[in-house]
């Protein structure tokens, strides 16, 4: 059992898009810590979601931290737009541009916290040169692009390795996990060292009356 506080970051990709503002208000009231916003461009990943204008409209619905995951390439030209739209954390993939450290600098210059996301095929060593400047590490336990995929078991070793790296750094860095998170895999991710869980289907299942129970269940592994 961990003594780390566990944060839940529901992914709005699993929400009812016909009433998205109401969904964000409901998941906020139910106890979400972050609101996770997956931005996909149909190029870096094989799907298209939404851009800064949707985030800007949702910003009026909640004061919770907007955890914006950019699955786009290139990243740098769009950082300012997402920051202005209301992002609090902007997370990018190292494969999305040639100069990861420059991207981190641009995110922080825009007034946001900087996150780095590791795909299942991205090695842990990618983090080493950047860890002193990061505020969040996101481990993808599915290949990014679509919700509802099954949890990739090898992600647990990556979570554990990054937990050790963070602890050795002495810095406060969120260790977030996204992909196939349900009540069972949430507990295993927490045991491996995660302290932020992104959940789509598991958070939004059953409609607003179930959201608080869903979030409590996801924390249950703690």
Question: Is 206 marked as binding a ligand?
Answer: no
Distance CA 33, CA 209 (A): 18
Q: Which residues of 139-149 are buried (b: 16+ CB within 10 A; e: fewer)?
A: bbbbebbebee
Nearest C-alpha neighbor of 115 from the set 133, 128, 98: 133
- The Cα-based distances of 161 to 20, 51, 131 in angstroms read 36, 33, 13
Question: Is 191 marked as binding a ligand?
Answer: no
Please say if 178 is a catalytic residue. Answer: yes
Distance CA 180, CA 54 (A): 25
Question: Is 43 marked as binding a ligand?
Answer: no
Question: Is 180 marked as binding a ligand?
Answer: yes
Question: Is 36 marked as binding a ligand?
Answer: yes
Question: Is 170 marked as binding a ligand?
Answer: no
Residues 33, 38, 41, 67: which is the catalytic one? 38
Residues 41, 135, 178, 195: which is the catalytic one? 178
| Helix runs in the chain, H state only | 20-29, 52-59, 79-85, 100-109, 155-169, 183-192, 201-204, 208-219
Question: Is 57 marked as binding a ligand?
Answer: no
Please say if 191 is a catalytic residue. Answer: no
Distance CA 1, CA 28 (A): 26
Question: Is 146 marked as binding a ligand?
Answer: yes
Question: Is 11 marked as binding a ligand?
Answer: yes
Question: Is 148 marked as binding a ligand?
Answer: yes
Question: Is 147 marked as binding a ligand?
Answer: yes
Q: Give catalytic residues, as residue numbers.
A: 38, 178
Query: Binding site, residues?
Result: 11, 36, 38, 69, 145-148, 178-180, 200-201
Query: Binding site for a divalent metal cation, residues?
Result: 36, 38, 69, 178
Query: Binding site for substrate, residues?
Result: 11, 69, 145-148, 178-180, 200-201
């Amino acid at each position: 059992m961990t003594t780390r506080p566990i944060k839940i970051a529901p992914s709005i990709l699993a929400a009812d898009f016909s009433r998205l503002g109401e969904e964000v208000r409901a998941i906020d009231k139910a106890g979400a810590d972050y609101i996770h916003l997956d931005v996909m461009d149909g190029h870096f990943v094989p799907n298209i979601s939404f851009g800064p204008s949707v985030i800007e409209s949702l910003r009026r619905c909640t004061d919770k931290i907007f955890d914006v995951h950019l699955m786009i390439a290139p990243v740098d030209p769009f950082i300012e737009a997402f920051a202005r739209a209301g992002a609090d954390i902007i997370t990018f993939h190292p494969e999305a541009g040639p100069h990861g450290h420059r991207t981190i600098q641009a995110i922080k210059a825009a007034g946001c916290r900087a996150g780095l996301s590791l795909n299942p095929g991205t090695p842990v060593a990618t983090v080493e040169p950047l860890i002193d400047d990061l505020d969040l590490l996101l481990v993808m336990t599915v290949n990014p692009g679509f919700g509802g995929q099954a949890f990739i078991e090898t992600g647990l070793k990556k979570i554990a390795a990054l937990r050790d790296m963070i602890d050795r750094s002495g810095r406060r860095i969120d260790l977030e996990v996204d992909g196939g998170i349900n009540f069972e895999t949430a507990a295993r991710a927490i045991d491996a060292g995660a302290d932020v869980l992104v959940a789509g289907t598991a958070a939004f299942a059953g409609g607003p009356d179930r959201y608080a129970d869903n979030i409590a269940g996801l924390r249950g592994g703690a």
